[in-house]
Amino acid sequence: MAAFGSMSIAQIQQGLTNKEFSAREVAEASLARVASADEKVHAFLEVTEDLAYRAAARVDEAIASGNLAAAGPLAGVPVAFKDNMNLEGTHTTCSSHMLEDYVSPYTATCVKRIIDAGGIPLGKLNMDEFAFGSSTETSAFGPTCNPWDLSRVPGGSSGGSAAAVAAGMATMTLGSDTGGSIRQPGSFCGTVAVKPTYGVVSRYGVVAFGSSLDQVGPFARTVRDAALTMNALAGRDQLDCTSQNVTCDFTANLDQGVAGMRIGVVPEFMNAAGLTPEVKSKIDEAIGKLQDAGAEIVEVALPNVHAAISAYYVLGPCEAFSNLARFDSVRYGYCDPGHKDLGGQYEGSRAKGFGEEARRRIMLGSYLLSAGVYDKYYYPAQQVRTLITADYTAAYEKVDCIIAPCAPRTAFKFGEISDPTEMYLSDMYTISINIAGNGGMNMPIGVGADSGLPIGAQLIAPAFKDENMLRVAAALEKIYGEAPVAPAFADGKVGE
Ligand code: GLN
């Protein structure tokens, strides 16, 4: 049986149109693939077999009545969702004991749009607990392994979403990104990974971490597949008042090349301490190739970007502290039995339901928002946010897109980074984009000379010009080739 998760959207749809296979066969083979490959990878927390077959049946009916278009632009595509996205009737655990038994009574808009577009939902994907982390090591249900090297992390927090695509289990998956959680795992696992501009995709039904920072986006192996997914995802949703009326076709300029485009290079990023030589040299190489392809390379400064991590680790925990207050054993979440009063029940349930990193963020947020402390941290962090946003606005007067590293290094080994502050630094290249709100994406550009592991270029677009970064990504894809399935999982292999 064909490895459908390794195919592109266009390949799957061509096969369906030519009746080489049915959507039911796609579902069957993809579920079998997950059952075998995921023993090694552990990307999935729940497999949604019934939903997959039901979705496939709808696609097959549309094809039988001679109307593949009616089945939707993602008809027959095997997809999966990060486990902080509600899908009616499935568990939505956020990889936390707190929500281990929680079953979604409704479906998130982003998930609904993918299924309505004809996607075949294979299941829910592992993540760092409540999306706190950069490695999936904080998942209460055990980490996901990087398909390129099973002894290494896939990145995080959307590690399961990246690994499922990299291992050829799904053609496309969704993740969420508050400070880098789509782009950094995309870079570690070598997949295209898009964090759209804040407001492009509805967050309704996605468990909130930092409401002013969170955004949903796709993982795929090709730029076109990511852009097609963006078309299905983007746009106004009455249920999320921050969602905008975006109607652009994200595939429109993928073939235009970069000739005449102005692409920015940021000295603060390229000269940062902590950037490994193999990543730096790959990014420099990509910059050279874009120049050869006709782009004008322009140096732009982001003078306040060094303060992004500090600001984020104030703003993020403050918002998380507020958002996670609902997990109190009464409104939502695990209830610790045997307490005589409500205060004791709250305390016991939250102490046992949340893991260490979640408790750290909640306590940090609680402290930072307390009287007397608020003025010293939260308020200046908001001012830094204004400065960083102004830096990007000024830069985009000179350029159409920025290129930077996505992560300072390639995927690390399990347990290699145990100090939380050191872990926070793995987001040094991604966080400022969430702070400013514009779009950013990872584009795989081959493997590192020292590590042999995937390296990604981060492309950063002006707000609501996400099509600019997709255009540059498509040009890089022409140069470097499409992102492959990880070698040990290619051609139907399962990690041998
Ligand atoms: N790694 C960052 C953190 O731990 C970002 C997480 C995210 O984007 N969800 O907060």
Q: Please write the tens of the pLDDT for every residue from 72-100.
A: 999 999 999 999 999 999 999 999 999 99
Which among 96, 157, 202, 451 is annotated as catalytic?
Answer: 157
In terms of Cβ atoms closer than 10 Å to its own Cβ (0-12, 13-18, 19+), residue 13 is: buried
> Rounded to an integer, what is the distance from CA 396 to the centroid of its chain?
24
DSSP 8-state symbol, 143: P
Across the range 165-180, mean pLDDT stands at 98
Q: What pLDDT does residue 68 have?
A: 81
Q: What pLDDT does residue 330 have?
A: 96
DSSP 8-state symbol, 180: S
Closest CA to 64 of 53, 56, 52: 56
Torsion of CA 379, 380, 381, 386, to 10 degrees: 100
User: Candidates 157, 183, 315, 323: which one to mutate for ligand 1, based on the most atoms within 8 Å of Cβ?
Assistant: 157
Which among 8, 181, 187, 329 is annotated as catalytic?
Answer: 181
The answer to whether the CB of 173 falls within 8 A of the CB of 147 is no
The answer to whether the CB of 4 falls within 8 A of the CB of 12 is yes
Looking at the chain, how many residues does it have?
496
DSSP 8-state symbol, 2: -
Cα–Cα dist 466/101, whole Å: 37
Cα–Cα dist 182/180, whole Å: 6
Atom number, ligand 1, closest to the C-alpha of residue 209: 9
82 is catalytic: yes
Alpha helices, DSSP H only, in 21-48?
23-41
319 token code pair: 């918002």
Share of the chain above pLDDT 90, in %: 96
Torsion angles phi and psi, residue 18, rounded to 5:
-80, 5
pLDDT band at 1 (very low <50, low <70, confident <90, very high): low
Cα–Cα dist 11/179, whole Å: 33
Torsion angles phi and psi, residue 368, rounded to 5:
-65, -25
Q: Is 95 in the pocket of ligand 1 (CB under 6 A)?
A: no
pLDDT above 90 for 69: no
Cα–Cα dist 36/23, whole Å: 20
Cα–Cα dist 44/184, whole Å: 19
Share of the chain above pLDDT 70, in %: 100
Cα–Cα dist 390/113, whole Å: 33
Q: What is the pLDDT of residues 405-432, one digit of tens each?
A: 999 999 999 999 999 888 988 899 999 9
CA of 177 relative to ligand 1 center, distance in Å: 7
Query: Mean pLDDT score of the chain, rounded to an integer?
Result: 97
Q: Cis check for the bond before 202: say yes or no (omega within 30 of 0).
A: no
Atom number, ligand 1, closest to the C-alpha of residue 357: 4
Cα–Cα dist 489/213, whole Å: 34
Q: What is the pLDDT of residues 440-491, one digit of tens each?
A: 999 999 999 999 999 999 999 999 999 999 999 999 999 999 999 999 999 9
Q: Is 209 in the pocket of ligand 1 (CB under 6 A)?
A: yes
Q: What pLDDT does residue 2 have?
A: 64
User: Candidates 128, 212, 319, 357: which one to mutate for ligand 1, based on the most atoms within 8 Å of Cβ?
Assistant: 128
CA of 33 relative to ligand 1 center, distance in Å: 29
Q: Is 157 in the pocket of ligand 1 (CB under 6 A)?
A: yes
CA of 156 relative to ligand 1 center, distance in Å: 7
* Sequence-ordered list of residues with C-beta below 8 angstroms from that of 437, at least 6 positions apart, any chain: 197, 198, 199, 389, 463
Cα–Cα dist 230/249, whole Å: 8
pTM listed for this prediction: 0.98
Atom number, ligand 1, closest to the C-alpha of residue 182: 8
The arrangement of strands across the sheet holding 120-125 comes to 44-47, 120-125, 78-82, 172-177, 215-220, 192-195, 440-447, 454-460, 401-405, 262-265, 296-299
pLDDT above 90 for 496: no
Cα–Cα dist 352/348, whole Å: 6
pLDDT above 60 for 329: yes
Atom number, ligand 1, closest to the C-alpha of residue 134: 1
pLDDT above 90 for 180: yes
Residue 413 burial (CB count, 10 A): 12
Across the range 115-136, mean pLDDT stands at 98
Which among 6, 8, 82, 243 is annotated as catalytic?
Answer: 82
- 3-state percent helix, strand, coil for the chain, nearest multiple of 5: 45, 15, 45
Three-state SS at 293 = coil
Atom number, ligand 1, closest to the C-alpha of residue 210: 9
Q: What is the pLDDT of residues 210-269, one digit of tens each?
A: 999 999 999 999 999 999 999 999 999 999 999 999 999 999 999 999 999 999 999 999
pLDDT above 90 for 30: yes
157 is catalytic: yes
Across the range 68-72, mean pLDDT stands at 88
CA of 330 relative to ligand 1 center, distance in Å: 27
Q: Is 158 in the pocket of ligand 1 (CB under 6 A)?
A: no
Q: How far is CA 410 from CA 142, 151, 184, 275, 458, in A?
A: 21, 13, 10, 10, 13
Cα–Cα dist 431/427, whole Å: 6
pLDDT above 80 for 492: yes
> Rounded to an integer, what is the distance from CA 377 to the centroid of its chain?
28
User: Candidates 126, 181, 432: which one to mutate for ligand 1, based on the most atoms within 8 Å of Cβ?
Assistant: 181
Cα–Cα dist 335/323, whole Å: 18
Q: What pLDDT does residue 274 have?
A: 92
Nearest residue by C-alpha to atom 10 in ligand 1 = 132
Give the H/E segment covering residue 220.
strand 215-220
Nearest residue by C-alpha to atom 5 in ligand 1 = 179
